Chain A
Amino acid sequence: MARIAHGDQFAFSLLYDRLSGPLYSLALKMLGDASEAEDALQEVCLQIWRRASGYDPKQSSLFSWAVLLTRSKVIDRLRARGRRLRVVAASIENEPNPVEISDASTAETAANILDRNEKAKRVRSILGSLPPDQREAIEMAFFSELTHHDIAKQLNQPLGTVKARIRRGLLRLREGMRRSL
């Protein structure tokens, strides 16, 4: 990162090779649209290039920092998309209860799923070992722009229950990651 902060494009290229797959996969899972996921990744990469000198390894690992930037960009896009949908909804009179947006069948579909590396396998294995309600809650929180209030509403569960599921799930994920290191 120090080299990138000094304008080393080759160092940036190496970093791109390392991070672009996981960050793109994250953006694609959240947005469900390949072209939008690429746009988001491009914005994140430029942000990394511009902010490289401000990165503090004591605060977080490079991967965590990049994931944070990516989620933030993607959530901006999801909220903008929500605003667009609200405009559509408002334009139709006698609005029934709101429904979720789904994808038309020709939109981006899931392709081959391959394990990226050992760490990805471990994460999936730990997630798989969590009680389903905890796993569902932390995945909803991580892969969407929903607040815990929205999640409680969607799951039709008390707010306290959802908070506890997310906390327990995340703490168990942390323990699992520690044990597997």
Chain B
Amino acid sequence: MISEEQQDLAALYVLGSLDANETAEFEATMRKDSGLRALVNDLRESSAALALSAPDRQPRPALKQRILRDIAMEKSRDPGSSARWTSGLPWAIAAVLMIFAGFLAYDRVQLRRELEQAKNADPLASAKFVALAPANGAPTGAKAMVVWEPDRQTGVIRISGLPAAGSGKDYQLWAVDEDHKDPVSAGIVHVDANGVASVRFKPVVEARRVKAFALSLEREGGVPKAEGPILLVGSSS
């Protein structure tokens, strides 16, 4: 008989909602209880179905090609797979050349992967930090910090000390990028009643060489090209 408390834990476990210690404790209990293991497997199947309740979206077709190329690279360095191709000298030569090409390609992939692993190990490795200071009569207590990830083309801005934009107005974030004549819009930012906002943003077009961020006061809903006063600004260099 599985107690209600154990059912609670089983449900939280399959949803990944237990903390690390609770997870370890529950897994130890589960190892000794086949009934509990069966309940967990059962609930895991039901909970996985929740994924289907997400709005139905498809990745870009290019992603499949990218993934198939990656697994082909991995396969090319698997010695077992090359053995199947060798039937006669021409095939053997072709296989050797393919393996050689595979090694060259693998080198590149490996370097890329190592770089990716380094970035994953330290998610801040490629991030830029930009402090924004008041300008044009903005409240002296107003400030913001941007963490910008050029590789992912996303960032987070945290603002404090800025009053509400007022009726018919919105704050708009801009990325000043060397590759674009005008600042690139990175979206509308709403501050709360305490004058604080934490917002994830993404410029409307790719901005690879951002040299500054700025926050301006614009017409409600934002504008394609900055026209209002800049209240906070900071350089990324």
A89 to B199, CA, bound (A): 12
Which among B46, B58, B129 is the interface contact of A91 at CB below 8 angstroms?
Answer: B129
A110 to B55, CA, bound (A): 8
A60-77 CB mask vs B (1 if < 8 Å, else 0) is 110110011011100100
B61 to chain A, nearest CB (A): 10
B229 to chain A, nearest CB (A): 19
On chain A, the residues within 8 Å of B63 by CB distance are: 20, 38, 41-42
A125-142 CB mask vs B (1 if < 8 Å, else 0) is 001000000000011011
| Dominant SS among interface residues on chain A | helix
Task: Look across to chain B and name the residue whose beta carbon is closest to the beta carbon of A175.
Answer: B46
B137-169 CB mask vs A (1 if < 8 Å, else 0) is 000000101110000111011101000000000
A-B contacts, 5 of them at CB < 8 A, read: A28-B57, A49-B71, A63-B48, A84-B127, A173-B46
Within 8 A of B (CB), among A80-98: 80-81, 83-85, 87-89, 91-92, 94-98
Which among A71, A85, A92 is the interface contact of B16 at CB below 8 angstroms?
Answer: A71
A85 to B129, CA, bound (A): 11
Beyond the given pairs A9-B71, A106-B186, 8 more chain A to chain B contacts, judged by CB atoms under 8 angstroms and listed by A's residue number, are A7-B78, A60-B45, A88-B145, A91-B145, A104-B200, A107-B200, A127-B53, A139-B53
B197 to chain A, nearest CB (A): 7
A119 at interface by CB-CB < 8 Å: yes
B25 at interface by CB-CB < 8 Å: no
Task: Look across to chain B and name the residue whose beta carbon is closest to the beta carbon of A146.
Answer: B17
Is B15 a contact of A29 with CB atoms below 8 Å?
no
Is B71 a contact of A46 with CB atoms below 8 Å?
yes
Question: A-B pairs with the 5 shortest C-beta distances?
Answer: A104-B187, A104-B201, A64-B48, A106-B187, A174-B46
A108 to B74, CA, bound (A): 32
Chain B: interface residue count, which band?
Answer: 35 or more
A168 to B4, CA, bound (A): 10
A124 at interface by CB-CB < 8 Å: yes
Looking at A104, A110, A142, the one whose CB has the most chain B CB atoms below 10 A away is: A104
A20 to B59, CA, bound (A): 7
Is B15 a contact of A84 with CB atoms below 8 Å?
no
Is B197 a contact of A143 with CB atoms below 8 Å?
no
Is A60 a contact of B15 with CB atoms below 8 Å?
no
A111 to B17, CA, bound (A): 29
Is B48 a contact of A114 with CB atoms below 8 Å?
no
Task: Look across to chain A and name the residue whose beta carbon is closest to the beta carbon of B55.
Answer: A113
Which among A35, A50, A75, A123 is the interface contact of B53 at CB below 8 angstroms?
Answer: A123
A42 to B53, CA, bound (A): 21
